[in-house]
Amino acid sequence: MSFITGKQLNRRSLLRGAGAAIALPLLDAMHPALAAPAKIAGQARRVAVVYVPNGIVMKDWKPAEAVDNFAFSRILKPLEPFRQDITLLSGLSNQVANKAKGGAHAKATGSFLSGAEPKYTAGADVQSGVTFDQIAAQKLSSQTRVASLQLGCEDARMVGNCDTGSSCAYTNTLSWRDAQTPLAVEVNPRSVFERLFGTIDPSLSPDVRARRALYRKSILDDTRDNTQKLLGGLGPEDRRKMDEYLTGIRETEKRIAAAEKDPLTPPSEKPSGIPFDYADYVKLMFDLQVIAFQSDLTRVSTMMLGREGSVRTYPEIGVPDPHHPLTHHRGHPDFIEKVTKINCFHVELFSKFVEKLKATPDGDGSLLDHSAILYGCALSDGNAHSNQDLPLLVAGHAGGIRGGRYVASPEKTPVANLFLQLLNGVGVEMEKFADSTGTLNLRS
């Protein structure tokens, strides 16, 4: 295997082995002679969406004052250490969902990232529109090994009736490649890991794959010889970066393997590789995204912490009740408090993702410096199924996002204005997307 052309390491170099191909993080050895690191770092800007279901308790989400030095609300409090990396948004709405027919949850999620009206059907004839993340993926796919990741932590069914006559395709995914093609989320960490680093043949039967899994070595064992060759030609700083990167991969492998052997849950209860503890599960999926961004395997991802209409329970935080029914609280304070606890828990988990991105070097900055991570929901008040004033924020600085701001838009400003800005921020220049009326300015 050849790594080096002259004195420069190719950004697309891979550590290859039997059944494995590991992309590399950005290293000093990848810079052209005498080139500034910033020039290299600017070539990779990432965009991601982290979605939470069933609306958010807005009185505990929105700060008391819409000013840049706002006091972090109860729900947003875990993000306070990252104030300068957070842009809080208000006033953005999805008017398309108000006009569409079908279940309120399905209309909200099914139109959220596309601004297209989903067809009211529970059959195979689903229809919505291409989502902004997939426009970015199509544009950036020639530069990465994986066009985009669609991840989830719950129910990946794409057929059947999931919301008063509306297809599960509308509630269980965010991304649509085109008007007729929703992209199913991947819920199994092992499958995500193999997609990023493995060369497993998907046509193999489950029995054959299971037998192979019994003898599976670490991908780092498979690539050991090539790794040693690479490290021998790197400087001290690059060797340190590689050590941290490969250690992260090894630890992620170990966590997946531990989940596959978890004795707490019968195999029939969950796919192999999914941790029993929800927080561990979410953290593992977030860490896979960090690795994918760090190695530039992809620059686009979406992740659903739960499907829209989720009935997940959260006994670990004192909420043994199903999530969705709680959101129809009709003003009952005990129910509202439980929903707020769930909202706080989700943001706490997200804050760990932000922390990891900020701590991961990338060229002249961090992964967070070169990413725009949209967090929020397609509904504000879950009790009313409101599509107005959506609870949204952006973490990161890709495309010049300044951070440390509260951007209050006029009432009923199309959320597509935000998506247009995020697209332009990762180099996908467009003048209009869906029902946008302009670009949301997050830079000044």
**pLDDT single digits (tens) 151-207:** 999 977 899 999 999 999 999 999 999 999 999 999 999 999 989 987 555 555 556
Q: Does residue 127 lie within any of the structural domains?
A: yes
Q: Which amino acid is located at 217 in the chain?
A: K
- Indicate whether 55 pLDDT > 80: yes
- Indicate whether 5 pLDDT > 80: no
CA 296 to CA 141: how far, in whole Å? 11
- pLDDT of amino acid 211: 52
**How far is C-alpha 259 from the geometric centre of its chain's CA atoms?**
21
pLDDT in tens, 245-301: 999 999 998 998 888 876 655 444 445 679 999 999 999 999 999 999 999 999 999
Q: Does residue 441 lie within any of the structural domains?
A: yes
Q: Does residue 209 lie within any of the structural domains?
A: no
Q: Given its phi and psi angles, is residue 376 left (phi above 0), alpha (psi -120 to 50 degrees) or beta?
A: left
Q: Does residue 399 lie within any of the structural domains?
A: yes
CA 308 to CA 168: how far, in whole Å? 9
Contact (CB, 8 A) for 424 and 399: yes
Which residues are bridge partners to 15 per DSSP? 22
CA 172 to CA 156: how far, in whole Å? 6
C-alpha to C-alpha distances, 77 to 179, 239, 390, nearest whole angstrom: 38, 37, 18
**CATH of residue 434:** 3.40.720
Contact (CB, 8 A) for 10 and 284: no
pLDDT in tens, 339-372: 999 999 999 999 999 999 999 999 889 999 999 9
- Indicate whether 28 pLDDT > 70: yes
Output the pTM of the full model. 0.91
- pLDDT of amino acid 2: 36
pLDDT in tens, 206-242: 565 555 555 456 777 878 888 888 888 888 999 998 9
Work out the percent of the chain whose per-residue pLDDT is above 90: 73
pLDDT, mean of residues 138-147: 94
Under 8 Å CB-to-CB from 117, ≥6 apart: which residues? 96, 99, 100, 111, 128
Q: Does residue 11 lie within any of the structural domains?
A: no
Work out the percent of the chain whose per-residue pLDDT is above 70: 88
Q: Looking at residue 93, what DSSP letter applies?
A: E
Q: Does residue 383 lie within any of the structural domains?
A: yes
- pLDDT of amino acid 13: 80
Mean of all residue pLDDT scores within the chain: 89
138: how many CB neighbours lie within 10 A of its CB? Answer: 16
- pLDDT of amino acid 141: 92
Number of independent structural domains in the chain: 1
- Indicate whether 376 pLDDT > 70: yes
Helix, strand, or coil (residue 439):
coil
CA 251 to CA 243: how far, in whole Å? 12
Full domain range(s) for residue 64: 45-187+279-285+299-444
- pLDDT of amino acid 209: 55
Q: Does residue 346 lie within any of the structural domains?
A: yes
Alpha helices per DSSP H over 198-319: 206-214, 219-222, 224-232, 236-260, 278-294
Under 8 Å CB-to-CB from 208, ≥6 apart: which residues? none
Q: Does residue 238 lie within any of the structural domains?
A: no
Contact (CB, 8 A) for 354 and 395: yes
Q: Which amino acid is located at 102 in the chain?
A: G
Q: How confident is the model at residue 59 (pLDDT cuts 50, 70, 90)?
A: very high
Under 8 Å CB-to-CB from 195, ≥6 apart: which residues? 146, 186
- pLDDT of amino acid 9: 80
- Indicate whether 8 pLDDT > 80: no
